[in-house]
Amino acid sequence: MKKISIIKEIDDMLTTYCDGCFVKNQLRKDDGKTAAHRFCISNCTVGAQLQFLGNELNKIGTGTNQ
């Protein structure tokens, strides 16, 4: 996967699934920003996919591979 396509996929996922997420918003309201973030990283399937894509970006590095 190329860098631009990974970034686009991350952006699409954030827009589609994370913007307006009821669970994240409720956790943030009830338990704070850190708890909501922890949930997204540890328990959310979308968060797991975002982590995978982030790791793929890290593998590519900061070069000009686009």
Q: How far apart, in whole angstroms, are the C-alpha atoms of residue 30 and residue 35?
A: 9
Record the pTM.
0.79
**Angstrom distance (rounded) from CA 59 to CA 43:** 24
Sequence-ordered alpha helix ranges (H) in 1-66: 3-13, 22-31, 33-42, 45-60
- Given a cut of 80, whether residue 63 has pLDDT beyond it is no
**What would the pLDDT profile of 15-25 be if each residue is shown by its tens digit?**
999 999 999 99
Q: State the pLDDT at residue 65.
A: 47
36 burial level (CB within 10 Å; 0-12, 13-18, 19+): buried
Task: Dump pLDDT digits (tens) for 8-59.
Answer: 999 999 999 999 999 999 999 999 999 999 999 999 999 999 999 999 999 9
**CA–CA gap between residue 35 and residue 51 (Å, rounded):** 17
